[in-house]
Amino acid sequence: MSGTLLKIRNLQIEGRADETWNPIINGIDFDLNKGEVLGLIGESGAGKSTAGLAAMGFTRDGCRISGGTVEFDGIDLVNASAAVKRGLLGKRIAYVAQSAAASFNPAHKLIEQHVEAPVQHGVQDRATSQADGIELYRRLRLPDPDNIGFRYPHQVSGGQLQRAMTAMAMSCRPDLIIFDEPTTALDVTTQIEVLAAIRDIVEQFDTAAIYITHDLAVVAQMADKIKVLLKGDEVEEADTRTMLSDPKEEYTKSLWAVRSFQRPAKPAINTGATPVISVQNVTAAYGTVPVLFDVNFDIHQGRTVAVVGESGSGKSTAARCITGLLPPKQGHIEFDGVALPLDYKKRNKDQLRQAQMIYQMADTALNPRKSIGEIIGRPVQFYSGLTGADKRRRVEQLLEQIELEPTQYINRLPSELSGGQKQRVGIARALAADPKFIICDEVTSALDQLVAEGILKLLADLQDTLGLSYMFITHDLATVRSISDEVVVMKDGRVVEQGPKADMFQPPHHPYTDLLLSSVPEMDPDWLTELLEKRGIDNIGDAAVGKMV
């Protein structure tokens, strides 16, 4: 820890929209010493990615640095010529993007892309750089490090790509790396591997890093100090332990409090009651590829059943079987004790009405060319036949239920709403059908934590007032903890464990459940270290999953 590497003073960035310049960042300062890791956190739109890019003296198209200074090792990056920046970027400052899958060139092998920067900058020749790349792959604990570099990006998994990208950023041994949400798109179990790899390598080479994320627990593992941003302003900055134990500002405290939302436990289910939805011995396949094997679970009136698992575990497929989009090969679905036709096309209007769905991506779930009033009004009219003033009154009532002011929002288009508001409209559309049962498919995973908490509370309130039953598909165990009554854990198309929430979060677990649970980052800066010690350094991630199954 010697000397200041990066010095940012009163940085202001503006973006161009509708012919005017609007401020994105209004004057933030920070210093970064050699070998130090700074965590930048905030909601989407807080300007954390923009700030991270500005640390490289770079702005996205349509943005400009309108004031302040960025000084990297004594070099003024704001006014540096393109030639000077070309000499620095890639060599002394590197960048790791959020989606490695979208950032690698699919036409070239990993190692080809890895050696590009060192050769270009004249740091190493091709052969040395290639050997070094393989060594980095080994240190990042990629499987088969000698050969993985000779694969194309589509031939390796998302988590591996993310690590390969980190290796690529390390190729010139930069002084500073900017990580822009490197684990956001990954499953919890994969996330652990990437986090551990990044942390190790940053420590080994004494590299300074800026770690951008919206996940507080992740940043707690990675950063030496944390800076909280809100709408382009700095909220507060402190070292990680102080920040976690003793946040000063209200906004920071509210961010910290999100994870504590939890619903009171409900009385046990009456054993004789007929479940609203009963999935019985369902086996399903896409074409000839089997994806679900003999899945059974029940969802009772007024209850929330969380279905958890990694991507590819078949949890969304189970939802598609219930809705009838993917008719199961075997088994059947009962609604209130009556078997539903397997194909949705054969179900009658009332059967369709009773089971509604809320989607993960509100952007694609709402028709962008229709106003909010039309989107919610259509199911109202379709199922209840209301028209004119009656329909409008019902739509207004629904908007009030989702806590959006009717007169203000009824004529807006989805593009004029924020992510959380769009998701609320998605909920209102499901409610408009007056259903008994709603499938929530990852409804909060695309949202910031504060917004997500709002959605979860809304869903919980609606359940209490309307007696709805939810099937809650998620990979986020914090969400499971806060909203569910019962939990179904799925892996590779099979239910590995199910039961009431209280039982599921208490040992003994199925080994896979245990792995999932222990992989959820906690707000304790020592969590990752302890976890890795417990699991044994070679036993993380893929290997661990393999052994347990």
Partner 1 sequence: MSLLTILAISLIGCLCAAWVFRFSGQVLSDQKPFFRDMPYGVAFGYVLGVAVLAWIIVTYIGAKIAGFPAANKLYFFVKAVEWFVIFAVAAVLFRILGRNLGTAGMRKLFRSMPLTASFGILIIILYAIVSIFAGWIAPYGQEQVFAQANIPPGGDPSTGGNPQFPMGTDQIGRDIYSRLIYGAQNTVGIAFATTCLAFFIGGTFGFLAATLGGWLDQIVSRTVDVLMAIPALIFALLLMTIATVWANNFGIDRTIFMVVIIAVIDATRVYRLARAVGQNIVVMDYIEAAKLRGEGLMYLIFREILPNATAPLLAEFGLRFCFVFLTIASLSFLGVGIQPPLADWGTMVKDLSQFINFAQFAPNVASAPLLAAGAIALLTVAVNFVVDWMLHKSSGLKE
| Residues binding partner 1 (CB under 8 A) | 19, 61-62, 79, 81-83, 323-325, 344, 347, 349, 352, 356-357, 359, 361, 364-370, 378-379, 382-383, 429, 433
CB burial class (10 A; 0-12, 13-18, 19+) of residue 7? middle
Q: Closest approach of Cβ 352 to partner 1, in Å? A: 5
Q: For partner 1, which is the closer residue by CB, 228 or 380?
A: 380
Pairing of strands 37-41, 225-230: parallel
DSSP state of 89: B
Please choose, from the candidates 46, 53, 61, the residue with its C-alpha nearest in 3D space to the C-alpha of residue 178: 53
The first and second tokens of residue 179, run together, are 């990580």
Q: For partner 1, which is the closer residue by CB, 19 or 538?
A: 19
Q: For partner 1, which is the closer residue by CB, 261 or 359?
A: 359
Half-sphere exposure of 84 (CA within 13 A, CB side): 14
Q: For partner 1, which is the closer residue by CB, 83 or 127?
A: 83
Could you tell me which residues come within 8 angstroms of residue 502 by beta carbon, excluding any fewer than 6 positions away?
265
Q: Is 517 helix (H, G, I), strand (E, B) or coil?
A: helix
Q: Closest approach of Cβ 375 to partner 1, in Å? A: 8
Beta bridge partners of 8: 30, 70
Q: For partner 1, which is the closer residue by CB, 18 or 250?
A: 18
Q: Judge contact between 196 and 528, C-beta under 8 A.
A: yes
What residue type is 98 in one-letter code? Q
Q: How many residues does the chain have?
A: 549
Q: Closest approach of Cβ 355 to partner 1, in Å? A: 8
Q: For partner 1, which is the closer residue by CB, 39 or 328?
A: 328
Please choose, from the candidates 277, 468, 438, 232, the residue with its C-alpha nearest in 3D space to the C-alpha of residue 355: 438
State the Cα–Cα distance between residues 160 and 523, nearest whole angstrom.
25
Q: For partner 1, which is the closer residue by CB, 42 or 379?
A: 379
Q: Closest approach of Cβ 194 to partner 1, in Å? A: 29
Q: For partner 1, which is the closer residue by CB, 231 or 370?
A: 370
Could you tell me which residues come within 8 angstroms of residue 319 by beta carbon, excluding any fewer than 6 positions away?
307, 357, 439, 441, 471, 473
Q: Closest approach of Cβ 33 to partner 1, in Å? A: 30
Half-sphere exposure of 39 (CA within 13 A, CB side): 26
CB burial class (10 A; 0-12, 13-18, 19+) of residue 125? exposed
Q: Closest approach of Cβ 295 to partner 1, in Å? A: 20
Q: Closest approach of Cβ 224 to partner 1, in Å? A: 35
Handedness of CA 499, 215, 171, 161 (dihedral sign): positive
Q: Closest approach of Cβ 17 to partner 1, in Å? A: 9
Q: For partner 1, which is the closer residue by CB, 248 or 349?
A: 349
Q: Closest approach of Cβ 256 to partner 1, in Å? A: 33
Q: Closest approach of Cβ 409 to partner 1, in Å? A: 18
Q: Closest approach of Cβ 417 to partner 1, in Å? A: 14
Beta bridge partners of 490: 495
Q: For partner 1, which is the closer residue by CB, 361 or 458?
A: 361
Q: Which residue has the tokens 């004029």?
A: 416
Q: Closest approach of Cβ 7 to partner 1, in Å? A: 21
Could you tell me which residues come within 8 angstroms of residue 521 by beta carbon, excluding any fewer than 6 positions away?
188, 191, 195, 215, 217, 218, 220, 221, 527, 528
Q: For partner 1, which is the closer residue by CB, 222 or 352?
A: 352
Q: ∠ CA(194), CA(197), CA(200), 5° rounding?
A: 145
Could you tell me which residues come within 8 angstroms of residue 217 by beta carbon, excluding any fewer than 6 positions away?
259, 520, 521, 522, 523, 527
The first and second tokens of residue 186, run together, are 């990954």
Q: For partner 1, which is the closer residue by CB, 90 or 118?
A: 90
